[in-house]
Each structure stands twice: as C-alpha cells, then as structure tokens.
Amino acid sequence: MRVTGTPLTVSGTIRAPGDKSISHRALIFAAMASGATRIRGILPSADVRATAGALRAMGARIPALSDDFVVHGQGVQSLHSPEATLDCANSGTTARLLAGLVAGLAGRSARFEGDASLSRRPMRRVADPLSAMGAHVTFMGAAGHDGLPMQVDGAALHGIRYVNAQASAQVKSALLLAGLTSGVAVTVDEPLRSRDHSERMLLARGVALAMTSEGVTLPAGQVVQPADVIVPSDPSSAAFFVALAALADAGQLRLENVCLNPTRTGAFDVLQRMGAVLHVEDECDVGGERIGTLVVHPSTLRGTHINGAEIPRCIDELPMIACLAACAEGETRITDAQELRVKESDRIRGVVENLRALGAEIEELSDGMRIVGSRTPLAGHVVTHGDHRLAMAFGVLGALPGNQITIDDPGCVAVSYPTFWRDLSQSVGPVAPSMASAPASVAPSITGSSPLVIAIDGPAASGKSSTAQWVAKLLDVRHVDSGAFYRAITFLAVESGEVPESWTAASVLAHSGRVAWRLTERSVLPLVDGQDQDEALRGAAVTRHVSRVAAMALVRAWVNEQVRSAGAAVDVVVDGRDIGTAVFPTAQLKVFLVADSWERARRRLLQRLGRRPTEAEIATETEALVARDAQDATQSAPAHDAVTIDTTTVTQEEQVERIVALARATRQRLGR
C-alpha cells in the first residue's frame, strides 16, 4: 500500500500485557474484600503501580506486582486515611476511582495529586456527583482549577441516581465505589454505554447489581467478596498490533488472550469496516470476560466515519485509528469524540499536529478530525506530550518501511505497555543479517572457523557488563562495548550542531561512515574519524541524548552490524539485551543472567540507603525496577539455547567462574 520502502512482513504471536482497566479494579476490589484474592496476569505498568501504591498507603497489604500474587484483603473498613498525599502519577483511573472509594469512607480523607498531565484533567465530573452524595471534595490548586490536587473527605453518604453524560467508566465506577463503601444505593444511567468491567467484577464478587439497557443499579448494603482474577490482555494494547498487521504487506500476526468485552472492541469493528482482515479463534470466557485470539492479515484499507455510540467503545484506540487512516484510501471522519481532548493529552490536537508535521492531510474538528489518506511516506519528529498512546500509534507508523519517524519520549509507553517496543521489533522480524565487512583495522580471525562469540544478556542491574569484562579477561578474548557505538554516533550528531529535536535515524546515520573500530588488547571500541574519543563519548551532551538515539530502530540495526562484524573477525564476549537472540543467534555460548527482582531491588536499596530497606521500600523499588527493565526497547527473553544463571544467591566471582567453565567446555567441544 505504500509506494516506497521494502515490503513489510509481520509474523509471530503477541500476548499483549494485562488489561489496564481490569488490573486497577482487581487491586481495588481485592483490597476491599475480606479474604484472599489471587491475581494473575496483572499489567505491571506505571498506572497500575500508582493504584497499588495508593492502596498500600491506605493500609492495604498489596505485595510487589508480579505475574501471580495474592492480596489478603481485610475489608473495606480497614482502609485508613493515608499519611501522605496519594500520588496518582499519570493515571486518571487511579484518581477518579479512589476518590469514589474514599468519599464513602466516613471519617477518612485523602489528598490526590498527579503529574502535570493528570493535573490538567477534569475532576469535577467525579467531584460533583460525589459531593451530591454528601462527600466533601475540595480542589486545592489555583482558583477556578477543577483538577488535581484535590482533597476528598469521606462521609456517610446518601444514594444517587446520576446520568453519565460523558459515557465515562471512571465516573460510573467512582459512584459505584462510593455506594459500596458507604452502603447506599446508586443508579447510573448511561445514554451511551461505557466499559463495564466494574459491573462484571462486582457481580463475580457477590454484589447484587442490576444491569439494564438504561445503565446499572447498585442496591444498598452490598459487600464485596474476594474472587480470584485472571487478567486478559488489553484490547487497547493489542489494537496497535492489529493496526500494524493490517498496514503490513505480507504475513500475519496472532494476538492471543485478548479481552473481547463488547464495550471494548469498537476499534476492531472499525478496522474491519476499513477493510482489515481479522478473525477470532479460541473464544472462551475467563472470569466473567470474553477472551480470544485475534488473527490479522494485511489488506487494503479505506476511510470510514466513526461517531456516536461507537466512540466510547474505541475511545483509547482513536489515535491509532487516525494514524492508520492517514495510510488508508479516502477520507476518515471521527466526530462526537470531544472526550479525546481531556485524555492524557489533548489527543485531537496531538494527533492532528503530529500527523500534519509528518506530511499527512488532516483537519482538526472541535469534536474529532478529518483525515485524507495517502500513499506518501511520512517523515519527521513526533511530540508525544508524554502520552503513551500517541507514542505507540506513531511507533507503529514508524515501523512501516519508507516512513522516517522519530519519537520524543518513547519511554512513556511504560504507562500502559512497558514492553511495547520489544513486541514491535519482534513482530516486524529481525533486522536483515549484516553484509558489512570488517574495517581494515581489524585483524582477521586467527582460526579457520568462525570466531568464538560468547553472548551475555540480562536485565538492568544484573551485573552483566562487569561480568562480561571479567570473563573476557580470564579467557583472553575481547569484550565488545556495544554501548560505546551508540555514544559514538550520538557524539557525531551532537557535534553536527543540528538541533536534537530534529534528529532522525537518517540524519544521525549520515555520520556512520566516520565511525570505525579499534582493537585494544582487551576490547573492541569505536574510533571516530580515526581518533580515540573515549573521554568525549562520556560527555554530558552525549549522555543526555544517547537513549533517544538508541531508541531509533535503524540506529540499533547499524550498531548491531558493527557488533556483528566485530564478532565475525575476532573471538569476543558481548553483553547486552538481545545479543544471543537478535545480534548473534548463532553464538556458540549464550548466557542469560537473571536475578530475582526483589533481591536486585534489595541490593540496590542497601547500597543507596546504607541500611536495611523495609519491605514496603523493596516492594516499591521492585516494581520500578520491573517497569524499567520492561521499558527497554531491546530487552528480550533468553535465547532458547541460552544457559540461564540466577545470580540471586551467587557472588559475581562465582558467576564469572561458571561462565568461564562453560566457555572452556565450549572451546573443547569445538576443538579450539
């Protein structure tokens, strides 16, 4: 469907992370119930961690978020006022749902705050009905600002019948929570249906809700019982890959375990109407939610009109749909979507400005946008305003051959999909094998067969870099510092004087001809213009910009080529995240260092604080560490033939000894 670029083939199966809405609710209801709730498959993202942190601050015993854990709820009356302000970070669901929870707890108070984006979002939509029920809600910011920071003083509430005019599931859920904590009846009428996860989960917990075509009624005096949860994959996250597969030229993508709740599947209906070839396999019900595998094939896409009742069913996917529409045939109109203006960013303005800057034809409407699709390649720099869904929507466009797109803040995907970049790079297939020949400065291999490559991968703070250097020294082979290549190319980009905001992979790689290698006795290091720039490469300007450069897929491909050609020339030990999978899939020895994240967090805190950390401190640090690991675009699972070493209970010396022994055995096997 595009006129330039090599065809894009997609392949593989993706299990998008747990549903964000269900994850928040699983934690809240588990904390409210008396008894144990086992939660599997929770989304360990920044937003969900904000809810976990806030509930902990109110006394809930929530362990570090992992794929399978148990919350021992002590009943809603055990929740107390938090000592400090509740930090909701970027998460509207945290702020609004917990405002409802606190509102119904007489004698309890909480102050809510959030990041700059959340502080701009409207809170009057929950403050007004909660106040009408008898709670005291006070906006603490500048006069006239009806957002966070906000103080909620709980009270013995009275019941309410409320019309949910914005079709907001957060407002509906806040009122249901207030009704539950205060034991009063709540009816929410919904002219347009919003997502109904709260209702489904409450029904599964013995709450006698009545769901009608008009809305939902919670009778007075209901108690939330514990019930285990298996969180399905988030359809809003899966939608990025449905779009990617639809836009590709060949192949297919399978998205398994996707939540197919009908209040959430509007985007899939829209994409099918636009011509996407998509079908569902293995449908079944898990924990009150429909799930299934989506199988998507490339197709020719055409414009459509999205409005009315369909909008709440695809509200979070509209940025992706708009980006896809920019590559479809004909015109797409999105109307009745004014809610997009009060999401993590003004998503109407953000999508329109970015698509226009990339070269698309697009018109801003007060309640949506009009997009005229085209086959012209898109190029430029995307400003996300820290909005995760903008980063991912434009990330998908950036993966299409022919497009040249950079994104200012790729890390903001941690809000809902920490492993997005890894999944994206895996689904568009590995980078084509390097044809690059080794620079003349490199001595040819001393053996007739291919040189020995020892790949050491692992997450952050697993100690892989120092371990790799130590192993290389003991084996008398060279250590490849792949990070130095990212620094070298960033150094040249900084030196060029171009403003970093305008850098693209192409402009950065324009300098790649000036980078060669040098072999030291112990390592393979980059040489810039034939010079050793070791000190300059560690400078502040390079440090500031290197992660943005390292997030560019084409730059990664180039660095991988350098590392590969080094490994084709001399025996090496290489450390990284995807060395054994993407860079050297045929490495003779692959080691994957793991360490229990709790233990890694404990070690870090011990070092940082100089004292034994508390369990709560470790829990918080563990979550941050897990999210940071996952956020790394290059992080990958161990290669199927990697030897995994758990460093949790092993000293570094022991690790090194073990790897050296494995390397010696490998050499022996290869007759070296």
Work out whether 170 is an interface residue with ligand S3P (CB under 6 A): yes
Token digits for 459? 């997450």
Q: Report yes or no: 246 and 270 within 8 Å, Cβ to Cβ.
A: no
CB of 291 to ligand S3P, least distance (A): 17
Work out whether 46 is an interface residue with ligand S3P (CB under 6 A): no
CB of 36 to ligand S3P, least distance (A): 24
Nearer to ligand S3P, 107 or 262 (CB): 262
Work out whether 315 is an interface residue with ligand S3P (CB under 6 A): yes
Residue 140, φ and ψ in degrees, nearest 5: -100, -5
Contact region with ligand S3P (CB under 6 A), list: 132-140, 164-172, 566-574, 593-601: 164-172
Token digits for 64? 């570090």
Strand pairing of 289-297 and 277-286? antiparallel
Query: Which residue in this structure is represented by tokens 């980063």?
Result: 391
Nearer to ligand S3P, 93 or 222 (CB): 93
Work out whether 123 is an interface residue with ligand S3P (CB under 6 A): no
Work out whether 299 is an interface residue with ligand S3P (CB under 6 A): no
Token digits for 147? 């957002």
CB of 195 to ligand S3P, least distance (A): 6
Nearer to ligand S3P, 202 or 566 (CB): 202
CB of 393 to ligand S3P, least distance (A): 14
Work out whether 504 is an interface residue with ligand S3P (CB under 6 A): no
CB of 398 to ligand S3P, least distance (A): 23
Number of residues that bind ligand S3P (CB under 6 A): 11
Q: Taking CA 340 as the corner, what is the angle to CA 336 and CA 343, rounded to the nearest 5 degrees? A: 155
Token digits for 653? 């010396």
Sign of the CA dihedral with 603 first, then 607, 612, and 614 last: negative
Work out whether 168 is an interface residue with ligand S3P (CB under 6 A): yes
Q: Report yes or no: 442 and 517 within 8 Å, Cβ to Cβ.
A: yes
3 state SS of 273: helix
CB of 315 to ligand S3P, least distance (A): 5
- What residues from 85 to 114 belong to the interface with ligand S3P (CB under 6 A)? 93
Nearer to ligand S3P, 21 or 482 (CB): 21
Contact region with ligand S3P (CB under 6 A), list: 169-177, 222-230, 517-525, 590-598: 169-177
Distance CA(274)–CA(420), nearest Å, equals 24
Contact region with ligand S3P (CB under 6 A), list: 163-171, 521-529, 553-561, 654-662: 163-171
Hey, which bits of 376-491 come out as E strands? 379-382, 404-407, 453-457, 478-480
- What residues from 190 to 219 belong to the interface with ligand S3P (CB under 6 A)? 194-195
Q: Report yes or no: 145 and 139 within 8 Å, Cβ to Cβ.
A: yes
Instruction: Give the residue among 468, 487, 466 at the shortest CA–CA distance from 479.
Output: 468
Sign of the CA dihedral with 542 first, then 547, 552, and 554 last: positive
3-state secondary structure 122-172: CCHHHHHHHHHCCCEEEECCCCCCCCCCEEEECCCCCCEEEECCCCCHHHH
Nearer to ligand S3P, 195 or 478 (CB): 195
316 has catalytic annotation: yes
Work out whether 629 is an interface residue with ligand S3P (CB under 6 A): no
Phi-psi region of 650 (alpha: psi -120 to 50; beta: other; left: phi over 0): beta
3-state secondary structure 76-132: HHHCCCCCCCEECCCCHHHHHHHHHHHHCCCCCEEEEECCHHHHHCCCHHHHHHHHH
- What residues from 16 to 45 belong to the interface with ligand S3P (CB under 6 A)? 21, 24
Instruction: Give the residue among 65, 87, 60 at the shortest CA–CA distance from 623.
Output: 65
Nearer to ligand S3P, 157 or 171 (CB): 171
Nearer to ligand S3P, 315 or 405 (CB): 315
Token digits for 520? 């030291």
Instruction: Pick the catalytic residue from 316, 408, 571, 575.
Output: 316
Work out whether 425 is an interface residue with ligand S3P (CB under 6 A): no
CB of 123 to ligand S3P, least distance (A): 11
Contact region with ligand S3P (CB under 6 A), list: 167-175, 221-229, 496-504, 556-564: 167-175
Nearer to ligand S3P, 24 or 200 (CB): 24
Work out whether 316 is an interface residue with ligand S3P (CB under 6 A): yes
Residue 271, φ and ψ in degrees, nearest 5: -65, -40
CB of 92 to ligand S3P, least distance (A): 6
CB of 185 to ligand S3P, least distance (A): 21
What type of residue is 195? R
Nearer to ligand S3P, 25 or 590 (CB): 25
Residues serving a catalytic function are 316
List residues binding ligand S3P (CB under 6 A). 21, 24, 93, 168-170, 173, 194-195, 315-316
